[in-house]
Structure 1
């Protein structure tokens, strides 16, 4: 589920709409009984959306936060840390089925972490972006977020979470290539 607003949506409207979609997925997950395999399917769909959002934030938003906002470097580092926490929980959920003893606890922890992150974005980062960036810059960032989300990886990659870009083991292009291969093999196995 890749949310794509109109071409004129700025980055704040785009990401806020994505946050509402994520909240809708959590509501759907919460409506399904524990241990039901549908919960796992919904969590997997949520994971795809959350990882794509994280990649878009890391590539398109956080560099601007770091450069233009008051206390930007510290704020960007906190955002990266929060996104890393979300990806760690997603990685733990990826290897569990809905019947696992800790599955529901991990889903609840994920929901808490995501809601806290969204609140920080919407009440802090987005307000500061609106104050410190022109409408034109925000619109260009919105375009870039939509572009990145179309092609972003869709699985957690823990070796790069909280790691400065110069220390990443794989380039974004390499990660996208590997994700594409995984998806291809997964489709072939299910046929």
Structure 2
């Protein structure tokens, strides 16, 4: 998060973690009704990841979009509307009162919508923000996000395997991106 992008870098990491979980859901979804329990477990894991990510975007990212990007209010409103639809589809996909076939259909729609949303942010919205928002402000927002998140030891970060944080720490140390408050950190 201490790289040049700050907040955008963190959001990109979270998007990659979500895409990895979406690939796992694809495999389960392809097996259909035969993998209901595994699919439900993955959806619960995904729900936790998604809830935090959407809250981060809505609290830290979309205010930047509104303030700095032309037509930012419309873009942010559309994204928040998509978030609402994603939450609703996820809830339906996890609703055990629905038939397995209905949950499978909801999961399929969720996968398509999320991939489209993530790709739109990565390929269109992030570059607009990167061009419009001063790098110092993106770093500052990233630092505020890091300070707001609870720190725990040994817990996987964004569904990534254990040890990933250690790899990032070594990388940051070697590249001089050692953290907030350091003079050599970009």
Asked if these proteins are the same fold (TM beyond 0.5), I'd say yes
Q: Aligned pair in 2 of structure 1 residues 90, 129: CA closer, same or farther (>3 Å)?
A: same
Number of corresponding residues: 146
Partners of 2:61 and 2:95 in 1: how far apart?
30
What secondary structure sits across from 2:101 in the alignment? coil
Unaligned runs of 5+ in 1: 1-5, 152-191
Instruction: Tell me by how many angstroms 1:94 deviates.
Output: 2.9
Within the candidate set 9, 14, 18, 1:18 is matched to 14
Rg bigger for which structure?
2
Partners of 1:55 and 1:128 in 2: how far apart?
21
Instruction: Tell me by how many angstroms 1:63 deviates.
Output: 1.0
Q: Which position in structure 1 is the counterpart of 2:139?
A: 139
Does the CA-based 8 Å contact 2:65-2:129 persist in structure 1?
A: yes
* Runs of 4+ that moved beyond 3 A: 6-9, 144-151
Unaligned runs of 5+ in 2: 152-186
Does the CA-based 8 Å contact 1:10-1:138 persist in structure 2?
A: yes
Q: Give the superposed CA RMSD.
A: 2.2
Partners of 2:102 and 2:148 in 1: how far apart?
33
Partners of 1:74 and 1:20 in 2: how far apart?
26
Q: Which position in structure 2 is the counterpart of 1:96?
A: 96
Instruction: Tell me by how many angstroms 1:147 deviates.
Output: 4.8
- Does structure 1 residue 34 correspond to structure 2 residue 10? no
